[in-house]
Structure 1
Amino acid sequence: MGSENSVLGVIIAVIGLIGSVLVARLSAPKPAATGAGAGDEGPPVLEVAPEIWRDMSGKISTLEGKVDHLTRLVEQQTTRVTTLEKLLRHAMRLLRSAHRQLRAAGTVPDPVPPELIPYSID
């Protein structure tokens, strides 16, 4: 009885193997035949009408120009912000120096606005 079970198991395994090979062959994508020598050309290429291509190419060129312009603006503004922050820090140094002189003279200086605290150097 033990040998019958093993033979039956082998038969079921062989049938399963043959079935999986058949399913794989049937479900595999088939190459599209587009004329003479279709197997030699490779994958099909997307074709676009010339009018659509000109329109899209023009739009892409316009967008590239706008992106380049915006990139230049961002770089210019970054440089400007850096310069303004340096000037603000220099002004804060001068303000702190004036406050120290007022305290030394015994006068109460005006408080520094809270918006300027991040730029102070104390």
Structure 2
Amino acid sequence: MGADDTVLGVLIAVVGVIGSVLVARVSAPRPAAAAGAPVDLDDERPPALEVSPEIWRDMSSKISGLERKVDHLTEIVEAQTVKVTTLETLLRQAMRLLRSAHRQLRAIGTDPDPVPPELIPYSID
């Protein structure tokens, strides 16, 4: 390693420093406008998506149609929930009557038919 290698290393380092300073200046954000001047934000914002009126009407009508369908389905689900609750109440009452009948049959010495396993969750006993 001689003096030529050292000079070449220094020269490369100086070019690297100058290059990094130039890159930093180019990539630095622009300073804001003067404090007294109004800032126009429209120039700095990216362009907004614009939709033609025909497309907007079409999409709005489709969305409105979907909202109506969802409202209708919600009404159906609520009505069916009421029906299911009513049917479960009736089934529980029927199970009470069945259990009472079974007790009466056992009391007179007759063996009643077994309760189906599907009805066990509705049993009160």
| Fold agreement, TM-score > 0.5 | yes
Runs of 4 or more, structure 1, over 6 Å off, are none
1:19-58 equivalent positions in 2, closer than 5 A: 21=24, 25=27, 39-41=40-42, 42-58=45-61
Corresponding position: 1:121 with 2:124: yes
In structure 1, list runs of 5 or more residues that go unmatched.
1-10, 29-37
Shift of 1:22: 5.3
Find the residue that maps to 2:114 and give its secondary structure. Answer: coil
Q: Which residue pairs with 1:83 in the alignment? A: 86
Shift of 1:39: 4.0
> 44-53 or 90-99, which moves further after superposition?
44-53
Shift of 1:50: 1.0
Q: Which residue pairs with 2:7 in the alignment? A: none
Q: Distance in 1 between matches of 2:82 and 2:101?
A: 29
Corresponding letter in the other structure for 2:55: I
Q: Distance in 2 between matches of 1:107 and 1:21?
A: 99
Identity of aligned residues (%): 69
Corresponding letter in the other structure for 2:58: D
Q: Which residue pairs with 2:32 in the alignment? A: none
State the TM-score, normalized to the length of structure 1: 0.69
Q: Over the residues paired in the alignment, what is the CA RMSD in angstroms?
A: 2.9
Structure exhibiting the larger radius of gyration computed from Cα positions: 2
Corresponding position: 1:66 with 2:83: no
Q: Distance in 2 between matches of 1:80 and 1:46?
A: 48
State the TM-score, normalized to the length of structure 2: 0.67
Q: Distance in 2 between matches of 1:74 and 1:20?
A: 64
Shift of 1:18: 4.7
Distance 1:40 1:102, change over 3 A: same
Q: Distance in 2 between matches of 1:20 and 1:88?
A: 80
Number of residue pairs the alignment of both structures matches: 100
